[in-house]
Amino acid sequence: MKLVVLEGYSLNPGDLDWGRLKALGDVTIYDRTPPEKIVERALQADAILSNKTPLTRKIFEQLPALRYIGILATGYDSVDVKAAIDFGIVVTNIPTYGTQSVAQMTFAHILHIMHHLAEHDKSVQKGEWSKALDYCYWKYPQRELAGLTLGILGLGRIGKAVAHIGNAFGMEIIYYDKVQADDSSLGWKDVPLEILFQESDVLSLHCPLTPETYEIIDMNHLNMMKKTAVLINTSRGGLIKNNDLATALKKGIIYAAGLDVLDKEPPPLDHPLLGIPNCFITPHIAWATHAARSRLLDSAIENLKCFMKGNPINVVYG
């Protein structure tokens, strides 16, 4: 089998071992592949491993040998899955590798906003504590999570992991998920979407990006939220209508946002959410712990092995 990894660097910048993958066949690994190089690099490939590289119907028309695409992620927005099916190409993803890491980053953002850790560190490093009249001071309100309501939009694996952590902090859990059965045995409350926006002190997004959820965070829903509310997005950037969130943050319609994803990555320098003091952004790294990336690589290898044996797993059907 001839296998081409179109973008290996984000998964393995050098701290993981490609050896088990290379043992499966003739493997070529590229750190990154621009769109204009896809066909040239994958022309003879039976299989491709990729993440964000766009794989379209037009691309498939030019890759007659291609029979397998392994997405190095859970989301598969970058692949025209219906076109792949038309060409007899099996597409797989990796659904479970990053659950704990993403949940952990969700709370990293929540805790940072509740305590303004970076701002207080900068204050101390500038000498303000050394000059203070008292043994302590705070430049922003300090908020306790216990007793606050954590709203979760999308109660899948990651949403559930976030809910469990919220429980450990003493938070009340409410959620909206149109396909999720009631979890009242855990004390979590299944609520209508409007109630989710109205009652959440922290609203965390964990739903897929679909036509129904595209830009669901718009001014209509933001106006339903508390002025003290915090929005967290470690899911998909397209869930947010950028200009509406920017306006809400600047006008104090909500208190703050913590984002690990944006609609365009990397973002342009004039992206509407850059430069807003109460919008805290990390560069899509919730998934990127060493442990999570190790699981991802192991799962990608297992997916490929099963395909080669004629029994593919984690197949995406669009």
Q: Is residue 194 located within the same domain as residue 245?
A: yes
Per-residue pLDDT band at 186 (split at 50, 70, 90): confident
Is the residue at 208 inside a domain?
A: yes
Q: Is residue 76 located within the same domain as residue 169?
A: no
Is 185's pLDDT higher than 70?
no
Under DSSP, is residue 195 helix (H, G, I), strand (E, B) or coil? helix
Q: Is residue 125 located within the same domain as residue 31?
A: no
- Report the pLDDT value the prediction gives residue 182, as an integer from 0 to 100: 59
Q: Which has more pLDDT, 316 or 186?
A: 316
- Give the residue numbers annotated as catalytic, written as ranges: 236, 265, 284
Q: Is residue 51 located within the same domain as residue 68?
A: yes
Is the residue at 316 inside a domain?
A: no
Is 117's pLDDT higher than 90?
yes
Is the residue at 49 inside a domain?
A: yes
Is the residue at 317 inside a domain?
A: no
- Report the pLDDT value the prediction gives residue 77, as an integer from 0 to 100: 86
Q: Which two tokens stand for residue 318?
A: 């669009």
What average pLDDT does the structure give for the chain?
96
Q: Is residue 76 located within the same domain as residue 113?
A: no
Half-sphere exposure of 1 (CA within 13 A, CB side): 21
Average pLDDT over residues 109-122: 97
Query: Which position has the token pair 């319609």?
Result: 253
H or E segment to which residue 59 belongs = helix 57-61
pTM over 0.75: yes
Is the residue at 227 inside a domain?
A: yes
Q: Is residue 118 located within the same domain as residue 266?
A: yes
Is the residue at 231 inside a domain?
A: yes
Is the residue at 314 inside a domain?
A: no
Residue-wise pLDDT tens digits, 8-48 = 999 999 999 999 999 999 999 999 999 999 999 999 999 99
Contact present, 75 and 93 (Cβ < 8 Å): yes
Alpha helices in 224-289 (DSSP H): 242-250
Per-residue pLDDT band at 179 (split at 50, 70, 90): confident
Residue-wise pLDDT tens digits, 119-157 = 999 999 999 999 999 999 999 999 999 999 999 999 999
Among 165, 227, 216, 219, which residue's Cα sits nearest to residue 193? 216
Q: Is residue 184 located within the same domain as residue 143?
A: yes
Instruction: State percent of the chain over pLDDT 90.
Output: 93
Residue-wise pLDDT tens digits, 47-72 = 999 999 999 999 999 999 999 999 99
Per-residue pLDDT band at 75 (split at 50, 70, 90): confident
Average pLDDT over residues 195-224: 97
Q: Is residue 202 located within the same domain as residue 152?
A: yes
Per-residue pLDDT band at 245 (split at 50, 70, 90): very high
Q: Which two tokens stand for residue 217?
A: 């965070």
Q: Is residue 23 located within the same domain as residue 57?
A: yes
- Report the pLDDT value the prediction gives residue 317, as an integer from 0 to 100: 87
3-state secondary structure 67-87: CEEEECCCCCCCECHHHHHHC
d(CA 113, CA 279): 9
Q: Is residue 229 located within the same domain as residue 301?
A: no
Is 181's pLDDT higher than 70?
no
- Report the pLDDT value the prediction gives residue 183, as an integer from 0 to 100: 61
Q: Which domain holds residue 240?
A: 99-281
Q: Is residue 146 located within the same domain as residue 252?
A: yes
Preceding amide of 266 cis, omega within 30: yes
Structural domain total, the chain: 2
Q: Is residue 238 located within the same domain as residue 198?
A: yes
Is the residue at 297 inside a domain?
A: yes
**CATH, residue 228:** 3.40.50.720
- Report the pLDDT value the prediction gives residue 5, as an integer from 0 to 100: 98
- Report the pLDDT value the prediction gives residue 180, as an integer from 0 to 100: 64
d(CA 209, CA 207): 7
